[in-house]
Amino acid sequence: MCRNTGRIRAFKLEKSNKNYHPYFDSDFAKWIEAACFSLAAAPDANLSRTVDRAVKLIVAAQQPNGYLNTYFTVKNPAYVFKDLREQHELYSAGHLMEAAVAHFYATGKRAFLEAMMKYADYIASAFGREKGKKRGYCGHPEIELALVKLYRASGEKDSWS
């Protein structure tokens, strides 16, 4: 279904693609997380290759500053972090982070984990009580859970931990 509905293709960041939605990224991330749980329980070479291709696609879509959301990157860049409750950016970020953690635990590979650490750094630079930072929270308690898991998996203490 991720393929049929354009959720995978969204990570190619094609402006001609009409199938973008604010939380498509989270659905693909949840598939990757589940696939990684499966790999951890029962290794499968075909599934492993599929997951590696998916991870490579996601990491390539990340912006140089660390931001990663296909909808806002392609369709609505001026609206980044403007409607946290309804647009699910932090919810999607959290699911991407949890997928990266599951991928790391299942494979030992760090590229996705490090990309999500960079995303967490970007989010930390955008939010806070300091002057010039946004104050806000997501409509779902997802990013908080994901940041804890990301911290535990990375073993690194940074501004978001």
pLDDT at 86: 86
pLDDT at 158 over 80: no
Q: Match 């073993």 to its residue by tokens.
A: 155
Mean pLDDT over all residues of the chain? Answer: 92
Six-digit token pair at 32?
């990757």
**Residues with Cβ < 8 Å from 52, sequence gap 6 or more?**
107, 109
Q: Highest mean pLDDT: which of 1-10, 25-34, 129-138, 147-156?
A: 25-34
Q: Name the CA radius of gyration of the chain, rounded.
A: 15
**Residues with Cβ < 8 Å from 23, sequence gap 6 or more?**
71, 87, 88, 91, 92
pLDDT at 92: 96
Residue 3: CB atoms within 10 Å? 10
Beta partners for residue 134, in sequence order: 127
Q: What is the pLDDT of residues 47-77, one digit of tens each?
A: 999 999 999 999 999 999 999 999 999 999 9
The b/e string for 87-120 (b: 16+ C-beta within 10 A; e otherwise) is bbbbbbbbbbbbbbbbbbebbeeebbbebbbbbb
Cβ atoms of 123 and 160 closer than 8 Å: yes
Domain boundaries of the chain, sorted by first residue? 9-154
**pTM, whole model, 2 decimals?**
0.93
Residue 150: CB atoms within 10 Å? 25
1: helix, strand or coil: coil
